[in-house]
Structure 1
Amino acid sequence: MAAPQFDVGILAEKKIQAEQYAAALGGGAMRDGYIEVARSPLGRAVIIWGWGHVDRLEEPRDEGEEFRDWRSKVWPHINARPRVLPSDDPKCKRQIAAAKKLLPQCAMVIGASDPDREGETIWRHFLELTGARPRAVKRMICAESNPGPQRAAFIALKDPDQYYGRFVAGRARSVIDLWEGTNHTVACSVFLRPGDLGKGYWPMGRVKGAVLGILHRRHVEIRDFREVAYFEILAEVRVRAGTVTLRHAPSAEERLTDRAAALALAEAARGIAEPLAVEQKPVETPPPKLFSKTSFLTKAGARWGWSGDKSAEILQGLYQDKGLITYPRSELTVVASSDVEKAPRIMEQLRVLGEPFRSAIDRLDGRLTVRRSVVNDRQVAEASHTAIIPTDVPADGLRLTEDEAKAYRLIAQRYVAAFMPSAQGLRTTVSMVPRSGPCRDRLFRAAGTVETESGWRVLFGAEDGEADEEGGETDRLTPVADGETGTVSAARLEDKRTRPPVPYTETSILEAMLEVHRLVPPDKEHLREILKSSKGVGTPATRETVIKELIASQLVERGRARGKGTPPIDLSGQGIMLVEALLPIVPELVQPETTALLEMDLDRIERARDSRGADRLAEQVLEDARERILRQFEAIRANGRPPELSGSRPAAPGQRTFVAAIAERLGLALPPERLAAMSAGEASAFIDEHKARFEECAGRGGNGRSRSSRSTGPARGGQRRDEPSGGRRRSSGTRRP
């Protein structure tokens, strides 16, 4: 056998990762599909990268033509041992070809993808596709993108058997996603989707179903909302130092909904003289958490109206093109202790951002406040990447777009604030409870906080909104002594109305997917506690992609943006039909807690003590999934009926938006509850009746109908119906044919 030409071959997950590794190992030369490092601590090395996954699992379309007929008796179909096949992407095929050529020339192969479940699956499948049989295989584990820790990790290589559980869990997840995506898409498209919707199909998968369920819950809450008018009493109370305003705001169950009764109470409050109870206690407000991908996308959407795609693209540019931030697809909000060592150097680079950064960094003077909520080596070791933070690359001289500069500044603010002292304040509560008369035992109260030490807040101006979001009430109160008698000199009513739940946006739903335990009903409190430790629905890398795919499939639609916020999203008419057809038959398909529980099963596989234990657990999880999917398919086949496309189905969000615009323009009385309960047929009739007058008033002429009103029924699918696909494992569910 010929002597190997290279000492090591390194399999990286991405090209930028390969470039970082080359820099950490002393620098290398870019070749066709790989980087050659002539001299490294490991000897002569080649670094070959993938494009994320370079593989896919064998899908029904690979097994035979009969699977292209969705009504054939071959369905449902479970392939218990799907093969690992090369990705259809030409870029991936080129990298596989490079690896096939080079790895047989290497004495040792090092798996150096991300140190998480998915990364473990990626490098092992990459190696499997090459057919190489290296003499030795090692694993490089590093969650950081800095040269020092990466170089140290290459010197301290690990036995890959230590991480076998991660691979088995990642593989099990991919297989289950394939089974779910193919079988549930076929079942929903064949047995539930009305034929006169056209030749499209209804994609369904593990994460897609969960998201549809989350959106449906909010849709029902908004649809069933009934506005309630109520009143609160504001009492002006004279004290020695002036006047303090106390509010009587009963709980939701005891609200004052009768105006006459509320007025009588306000009248009775005048002249009351009672001792005031004053409570004061120091409060400490820690800085907001560092950014994960989900929290950044949510914040950017709320502050600037950015879509998830736009925020993700800007983050990727700051990371890949500019090198200013760490890896942006992070699920953590903490960093490693080694990152703290670099913090003073990074902060010096951030001085170029001007005020208030310079003043804040001067105030720190190198004395960092290190919190467990910010620095957690254990969490970093278990995940693939740290929180999104600035790197030590200077921003001065780099050409940043306006949006890139805004995003970088926001990340830098959170970073510097994380190491600053907490904000200190004095929380004061003033209360009065009359002991007699009509207002007896009713609580009148005021509360406010006086800031004594600004701490991290010096970094955030009023326009940032960060201080208000994190700090609660900041009303300043007239000084009052505990036990001092106060006299009500005046009292008035304040009109209030209950507000409907806020629709999700493309970014706010990402947070709901992450914190799925908050959506569990109160009667399942035990399940809620379990799910608090889960990773939620989907992954940071794929959540916004799932939303985008649901919009493209016409199951979800965007509404009209208001102000600077991102547009709301809601189920389309088709989405409502699909979810409400599934709920009576297989509700677990659209329950977000279902997919979170699967993630917890995968975590148990990952934590198995040895390879035998991991394989045994994986077999059980796969068998449970197989039985469940077959049972669900048969339940849909036996009980599913396509809904009739009639005027009785609910109006789509776009229809309701156009109806509301017409009513507002023409001054027509349209109570909110009537709009919420309007059917598609009623909405269509309303639009047809008033459209001409609306267009005349708007001065638009011609058709003039807004985009949201182009269809008064479900959008007809224009997709080609083809065989179902297991989809990419980075986006659960199915890939569009």
Structure 2
Amino acid sequence: MRIIIAEKPSVAQAIAGVIGGAKRSDGFIDCPQAKTRVTWCFGHLLEQAKPEEYVDGGKVLASHLPVIPTTWKLSPRDGGAGKQVKVIRDLLKEAAEVVNAGDADREGQLLVDEVLLFLNWKGKTSRLWLSSLDDASVRKALSGIKNNAAMRPVYESALARQRADWLMGMNCSIALSRNLQGCGVPGAWSVGRVQTPTLALLVDRKREIDHFKPRDFYQVIAYLDGGIRAVWQMPDDLVDEDGRLLDKAKADEVARQITDKAARVTKFTRKAGERAAPIPYTLGGLQKAASSRLGLSAKDTLAAAQELYEAKVTTYPRTDCPYLPVEMHGAAAGILKAIGGADVAGIDPARKHAAWNTAKVEAHHGLIPTGQSPDAASLSANAKRVFDLIRESYIRLFMPPEKFETREGLFEIDGLAFRAAARVVFDPGWTRLGAKDEDEGQEQGEAQGALPDLREGEVRTCERGEVVAKRTTPPKPYTDGTLIAAMTGVHRLVTDPKLKARLKETSGLGTEATRASMIEVLITREYAERRKKEIHPTDRGVQLIDMLRKVAPDLADPGYTALQEDALADIAAGRAALAAFMQVQVDATREFSRALLEGKLTDGQMVMHACPACGGSRCAQLKSKAGNVYHRCMDCQAAFGDDGGKPGKRFEDRPAGETAQKTSSAAGAGPKCPTCKGPTARMKASLARSGGR
């Protein structure tokens, strides 16, 4: 018997449908003719144990930090995960071979492999790598199943990410919260390896906007006969570091100086050019385009792309590679016909865009249609709109390039240099179809009015000079799309030149699959908020980044975290070892935990006393919401009443008062609680109502 384990039920259904003879059972699909059973996970069926499960007493004290597991524990998640783990366990008893059919990325590799390890499977294990769920792609993948052992580095990369996130997130969050609670700041605080530097991007952008001071600057335009518009090329000694002229008097002087003067052509050039269509979308590119053109959040765009993938109409969405394997080019004519692109003007299914480059394809390829006709009735509104973007992107690959000519003329007017430029489009090519994407990154050239053919030495007349006043504008708040782009290209925000150069080739903060969820985590935890399309940090978010930068600045440094992503990529590629990476994470966790636990995070001076319970010296004097003074130990968390400014009676040890006496008389004294050793009460009335259960 062969057991195939997919990441989710919809993928299992697609696989079983291709195998044939499928019969649905409880928790799996039986394909008896092929001696195959297809089962599934629901994403991660297992979760990491909480820190309190690794310490004595079941409660993490300051003295326990950092919690560094020597043997990592996993357990089924709440809900139906335990039942599905049991289904897989029972199937494994009859299995001769298991096929990992998790999604085609490192997380998909981990979530199936970890279940097999949890269930102590030691038999033959293979890997099914699916980039799309249409029948042809599934059939091709089934014929090319590989040994799962070859994917060990990918599994270890995902495991390293999971454990690093746990070490940093759990320990640093607890340490920060305990320190702040001791300083009278209530509540739990959260720190995350990717979440926190992403928040730092939002905070830094807010500071740039808040501290921005607009400045007026000026351009001088020369209007020449023949409709030519030329701009003054200002000498370096007259402009600021950004090349702007701030002296209006000088601008006015130059405008007067050049009026009615001869303008001699010193140079004229014409250059023909072509611009090919943009390459296919990565998930990040799709999220940015959907944000700017459709107003969708990164989370909603990912959900729509996932819906399209599971409907078999587009390929795997969580891709960070825009290139396509040449082997897929042969299917272009059929795909174009299926998506209504065969009749578009200028379309040529035989055209080979530079995107077709097998050598540049990594684990996944660009996001494109599969050729399956979408069932419009079954798709959500967002999925239909996102499909239109993907469809448009694919069709443009087979349209001719945009053809244009750039022209440039340099002029000398009364000893001053001026420049005119124009861009003339001869054939719009692919730009006929739809809007251009914001992130094409293509040079658009300048278009400053007409520019006829000129000869060097030719003289024109400057009919008038004009001063154009402009004002600097602040940077814009992040949207989902621009924040995803900043997380992807984090090297642009790093000032250290060596780090900048190294990060330029890495994937930035997080992965294509996780960036949208990081934004949602920040919003859920009230560190950020949406205002229409914009994302802003909250006061709480700003406070968190400011505190971290006082005592553990690396936690809020996008460059530091991006280097970790670089190291994870090295593990996945087999260039680095899991053990070495984890030792670095353990060392960093020790350092950060100590800094967050002991550092001065607020400006207030706390009153500390010896703790009567544990003997430590960090029993802080606090005030309750009602304004009453009390004391709590930052180490053992014991709480005490106030006795003349010092810790008095421990709350749990107070003699029974009026409320306790009423409870005791009504219900009767019970045995000591096995957890806290405090008194309990027998609730006879409650037991009677429940029939003794």
- For the aligned pair, the TM-score class normalised by the smaller chain equals 0.7 to 0.9
Distance 1:228 1:137, change over 3 A: same
State the alpha-carbon separation in 1 of the partners of residues 439 and 148 from structure 2: 44
Name 1:244's counterpart in structure 2.
228
Aligned match of 1:147? 135
Equivalent residue letter for 1:444 = F
What is the aligned counterpart of 2:600 among 628, 634, 640? 640
TM-superposed CA distance for 1:194, in Å, is 8.2
**Paired amino acid for 1:387:** G
Counterparts of 1:162-311 in structure 2, within 5 Å, are 162-192=150-180, 198=186, 200-238=187-225, 242-248=226-232, 250=234, 252-253=240-241, 254-276=243-265, 277-311=267-301
Residue ranges of structure 1 left out of the alignment (5+ in a row): 1-5, 352-356, 646-722, 724-737
Residue 121 of structure 1 is matched in structure 2 by: 110
Higher strand content, 1 or 2 = 2
Q: CA, structure 1 residues 155+405, in 2 after alignment: closer, same or farther (shift >3 Å)?
A: closer
Is the Cα–Cα contact under 8 Å of residues 232 and 248 in structure 1 kept in the other structure? yes
Deviation at 1:82, TM superposition (A): 1.0
C-alpha separation between the residues in 1 aligned to 2:333 and 2:67? 57
The 2-side partners of 1:644 and 1:433 are apart by 65
- Residue number among 475, 478, 497 corresponding to 2:451 in the alignment: 478
Is the 8 Å Cα contact of residues 409 and 454 (structure 2) preserved in structure 1?
no
Query: What is the CA-CA distance between 1:16 and the residue it aligns to?
Result: 2.0
Q: CA deviation at 1:195?
A: 5.7
Kept in 2, the 8 Å contact 1:298–1:507? The answer is yes
Give, in angstroms, the shift of residue 206 of structure 1. 0.3
Residue 596 of structure 1 aligns with which residue? 562
Does the 8 A contact of 2:278 with 2:397 survive in 1? yes
Q: CA deviation at 1:211?
A: 0.5
CA offsets, 1:332-365, max 9 Å, x none?
Answer: 22222333222211110122xxxxx4543x5324
Higher relative contact order (CA 8 A, sep 6+): 1
339-348 vs 186-195, which moves further: 186-195
> Which residue identity is paired with 1:236?
Y
> 1:158, 1:406 → 2: CA distance?
36
Specify the SS of the correspondent of 2:63: coil
Q: In the alignment, residue 505 of structure 2 is paired with which amino acid?
A: S
Which amino acid counterpart does residue 525 of structure 1 have in structure 2?
P
Distance in 2, Cα, partners of 1:132 & 1:468: 49
Amino acid at match of 1:349: A
The residue number in structure 2 matching 1:52 is: 43
Identify the structure with the greater helix proportion: 1
TM-score, normalised to structure 1's length?
A: 0.76
The residue aligned with 1:688 is none
Structure 1 match to 2:524: 552
User: Quick check: 152-161 or 446-455, which moved more?
Assistant: 152-161
Q: Once structures 1 and 2 are overlaid, which stretch shifts more, 45-54 or 216-225?
A: 216-225
Distance 1:367 1:258 in 2: 57
What is the one-letter code of the residue matched to 2:351? L
Q: d(CA) in 1 for partners of 2:359 and 2:563? A: 23
- 1:255-279 Cα distance to aligned partner (Å, 9 max, x none): 3222222111110011221322221
Cα distance in 2 for partners of 1:585, 1:426 equals 56
- Is contact 1:232–1:249 with CA below 8 Å preserved after alignment? no
3-state SS, counterpart of residue 114 of structure 1: coil
Paired with 1:364 and 1:264, the residues of 2 have a C-alpha distance of: 54
Give the drift of 1:189. Answer: 1.7
Give deviations 1:136-175, integer Å, cap 9, x for gaps. 2222334343433433333333222222112222212211
Distance (Å, rounded) in 1 between the aligned partners of 2:374 and 2:137: 23
- 1:84 is aligned, of 74, 80, 87, to 74
Distance 2:339 2:58 in 1: 57
Question: Using a 3 Å threshold, how does the CA distance of structure 1 residues 630 and 245 change in structure 2: closer, same or farther?
Answer: same
Q: How many pairs align?
A: 600
Instruction: Tell me if structure 1 keeps the 8 A contact 2:183–2:604.
Output: no
Q: 1:473 to 1:369 in 2, by over 3 A?
A: farther
1:630 counterpart = 2:574: no
SS at match of 2:475: coil
Change (3 A) 1:142 1:305: closer
Change (3 A) 1:467 1:224: closer
Shift of 1:475: 5.1
- Percent of aligned positions that are identical: 26
Give the superposition deviation at 1:461. 5.6
Q: How many angstroms apart in 1 are the aligned matches of 2:74 and 2:440?
A: 51
Inter-partner Cα distance in structure 1 for 2:538 and 2:57? 32
Q: Name segments (4+ residues, structure 1) moved above 6 Å.
A: 464-470
| Partner Cα separation in structure 1 for residue 218 and residue 32 of structure 2 | 77
SS, match of residue 146 in structure 2: coil
Tell me if the contact between 1:66 and 1:74 (Cα under 8 Å) persists in the aligned partners. Answer: no
- The residue correspondences of 1:404-419 to structure 2 (distance < 5 A) are 404-419=383-398
Equivalence for 1:370: 353
Question: Aligned runs of 1:616-627 on 2, under 5 Å?
Answer: 617-627=577-587
Q: What is the CA-CA distance between 1:67 and the residue it aligns to?
A: 5.4
Task: Provide the residue aligned with 1:112 in structure 2.
Answer: 101
The residue identity in structure 2 corresponding to 1:445 is R
Equivalent pair of 2:231/2:418 in contact (CA under 8 Å): yes
**Structure 2 Cα separation of the partners of residues 468 and 543 of structure 1:** 21
The corresponding residue for 1:15 is 9
TM-score under structure 2 length normalisation: 0.81
SS at match of 1:480: coil
CA contact (8 A) 2:287 2:480 kept: no
SS of 1:530's equivalent in the other structure is helix
Q: 2:92–2:121: 8 Å Cα contact kept in structure 1?
A: yes
After superposing the two structures, state which structure 1 stretch, 386-395 or 309-318, moved more: 309-318
- Structure 1 residues 468, 619: CA separation in 2 closer, same or farther (over 3 Å shift)? closer
**Superposition map of 1:310-329 within 5 A:** 310-320=300-310, 322-329=311-318
Partner of 1:102: 91
Deviation at 1:224, TM superposition (A): 2.3
Pick from 44, 58, 63: which aligns with 2:54?
63
User: Does the C-alpha gap of structure 1 residues 465 and 579 become closer, same or farther in structure 2, counting only changes over 3 Å?
Assistant: closer
Task: Return the match for 2:19 from 16, 25, 33.
Answer: 25
Residue number in structure 2 paired with 1:347: 336
Provide structure 2 residue ranges, at least 5 long, that are not aligned to the other structure: 606-635, 637-693
- How far apart, in 2, do the equivalents of 1:163 and 1:400 lie? 34
Larger radius of gyration: 2
Task: Specify whether residues 459 and 314 from structure 1 end up closer, same or farther in structure 2 by C-alpha distance, changes over 3 A only.
Answer: same
Shift of the 512–67 alpha-carbon distance from structure 1 to 2, 3 Å rule, reads: farther
Contact 2:89–2:119 (Cα < 8 Å) also in 1:
yes
What is the rounded CA distance, in whole Å, between the counterparts of 1:507 and 1:461 in structure 2?
A: 16
SS at match of 2:26: coil
| One-letter amino acid matched to 2:558 | P
Residue of structure 1 equivalent to 2:485: 511
The separation in 1 between residues aligned to 2:438 and 2:596, in whole angstroms, is: 48
Match of 2:427 in 1: 453
> Structure 1 145/471 Cα, relative in aligned 2: closer, same or farther at 3 Å?
farther
Deviations 1:101-136 (A, max 9, x none): 1121121111222343222212211212333443x2
In the alignment, is the contact (CA less than 8 A) between 2:278 and 2:440 conserved in 1? no
Shift of 1:181: 0.6
Whole-angstrom CA distance in 2 between matches of 1:102 and 1:472: 62
Q: Could you tell me how far apart the structure 2 residues matched to 1:24 and 1:337 are?
A: 25
Counterpart among 557, 561, 570 of residue 536 in structure 2: 570
Distance 1:375 1:461, change over 3 A: closer
Distance 1:526 1:93 in 2: 48
SS of the aligned residue for 1:430 comes to strand
Q: Deviations over 1:450-469 (max 9, x none)?
A: 1122221121269x889998
Deviation string for 1:179-218 (max 9, x for gaps)? 00111111222224786554x3221010012102212222
Residue aligning to 1:501: 475
